[in-house]
Amino acid sequence: MPDHAISAHPGVQTQLDRLAALSPGRDVLGLERITALLDRLGNPHLRLPPVFHVAGTNGKGSTCAFLRAAIEASGHVAHVYTSPHLVRFNERIRLAGRLIADEALADYLARVLDIAEGINASFFEVTTAAAFLAFAETPADACVIEVGLGGRLDATNVLPAPAVCGIAALGIDHEAFLLAPEEGTPDIPLERIAFEKAGIAKQGVPLVIQKYAIGMMGAIAGQAMRAGAYVKARGEDWDAALYQGRLHYRDVDGKLNLPVPRLPGAHQADNAALAVAMIRHQSALSIPDSALSAAMGWAEWPARMQRLADGPLVALLGTDEPVWLDGGHNPDAGAALARHVSAMGGKAHLIIGMLSNKQPGALLGPLEAHLASVTALPVPGHEWHDADAFQQCLTSGIEVQAAADVRAAMALLAEREAAPVLIAGSLYLAGEVLRANGQEPD
């Protein structure tokens, strides 16, 4: 089933079963089907409150979390659309500040599916249309919308005039969909990625970006010029740095001295800074500096360098060592995880589950020097890499062991020398971990 979407609610499950039967299926890029679908629904995407639209390879979800936190800290109400979900499909649609209720989710999915005949809409396109319909019919002050895949041809890119667009960290991912040859697009992979992500640029709308390599900046600038967007680049129009335990931000309107984000990992300072820059470069919604400061502590984003709380799964380890969960699976995520493990000192046990369409060495390469052991798991509901695939990527002599599931993996580690545990490789696996530990997102 696409995205391992299941629900305990019969009405939601009925609609998810209909979603699973769709043709052509998931990960199909293009705006023709979503445009036709929204037109049959009365074009709800044209009736949304101010939109904060976020693309990127790594960090776009965390940026959305900081945006939501700042908007809510200022007393406003926000809709949020992100993907994928971890445990419940409802996590994708946050309606006026709360996860969409089962009854409402079933109704909105049914309304879209009932009028979708002949369009051949994909799983993500139907979900996007349902979210936009819910957002248009429920009062709120803002929408925070995360790009699903790429940007230029992503279903969310039908939004005609966001309040502001942003691009988080860029790297190689989804190669089969974003790097295929196409006339008029860059030949160099990272420049092609930048070109695709910058496809969210809109006429007259600020496009707030991080600092990238020169070729990538050129690809983004070209897209912005064609769209008539205003690029607001880090290092030129705004900047931020960690210094003496604070996040220091500056732009033409002044400087901010903010707390360090509560979300673990030095990279979260970059995501928080991008969210601040997006807010400071839009004029549709008034958000005071005090709300930006509060957002540093309010933002929550599960399965992104998340320390698991005491629960049934953690208890299987039988020690007080921390258990960290992250859904990362590409080289940039591996580098961020390596920095995190290194900062803890010593080495960590890695439990890894990764989809077969990802590169196992991408995560293991940066991490290998920091690992005490590696345990490979299946990713339920998906094709996945087995222990041999990970073993072939290692050069340090670590022997990869296999386990049937995350509970079995924790039990195996209970017999090894105590060390911190890192569970990584897939957001789908992360959902299983959170469910097993009794920490479903809310």
pLDDT in tens, 383-440: 999 999 999 999 988 999 999 999 999 999 999 999 999 999 999 999 999 999 999 9
Is residue 3 a part of any domain in this protein? Answer: no
Nearest alpha-carbon partner for 167 in 296, 60, 295, 301: 60
The answer on 314 and 259 residing in a single domain is: no
The answer on 192 and 241 residing in a single domain is: yes
Nearest alpha-carbon partner for 111 in 44, 159, 41: 41
pLDDT given for residue 3 in this prediction:
61
The Cα angle at residue 295 between residues 290 and 298, in degrees rounded to 5: 130
The answer on 290 and 326 residing in a single domain is: no
The answer on 277 and 366 residing in a single domain is: no
Structure tokens at 160: 């005609």
Structural domain span for residue 221: 10-298
The answer on 250 and 396 residing in a single domain is: no
pLDDT digits (tens, 9 = 90+) for 229-243: 999 999 999 999 999
What number is the average pLDDT over the span 97-115? Answer: 98
Choose the final residue of a domain: 277, 298, 319: 298
The answer on 208 and 148 residing in a single domain is: yes
Helix, strand, coil shares of the chain, percent, nearest 5, are 40, 15, 40
Choose the final residue of a domain: 298, 332, 364: 298
Complete DSSP assignment for 383-410: -B--HHHHHTT--S-PPEEE-SSHHHHH
What number is the average pLDDT over the span 154-170? Answer: 97
pLDDT digits (tens, 9 = 90+) for 226-276: 999 999 999 999 999 999 999 999 999 999 999 999 998 888 999 999 999
In the chain, the number of structural domains is 2
Q: How confident is the model at residue 60 (pLDDT cuts 50, 70, 90)?
A: very high
Give me the residues paired with residue 247 across strands: 242, 258
The answer on 251 and 388 residing in a single domain is: no
Q: Kindly report the CATH number assigned to the domain that includes residue 388.
A: 3.90.190.20
- DSSP state, residue 91: G
Is residue 5 a part of any domain in this protein? Answer: no
Under a CB-based contact definition with an 8 Å cutoff, are residues 225 and 207 in contact? no
Query: Coil, strand, or helix at residue 367?
Result: helix
Is residue 442 a part of any domain in this protein? Answer: no
- DSSP state, residue 49: S
Element (H, E) at 40: helix 32-40
The answer on 205 and 106 residing in a single domain is: yes
Is residue 2 a part of any domain in this protein? Answer: no
Is the bond preceding residue 24 a cis peptide, omega within 30 degrees?
A: yes
The answer on 47 and 104 residing in a single domain is: yes
The answer on 162 and 71 residing in a single domain is: yes
The answer on 139 and 230 residing in a single domain is: yes
Amino acid (1-letter code) at residue 351: I
Considering only 177-186, 218-227, 354-363, 412-421, which range has the smallest mean pLDDT?
177-186
Higher-confidence position of 330 and 325: 325
pLDDT given for residue 1 in this prediction:
40
CA-to-CA distance for 223 and 220, rounded, in angstroms? 5
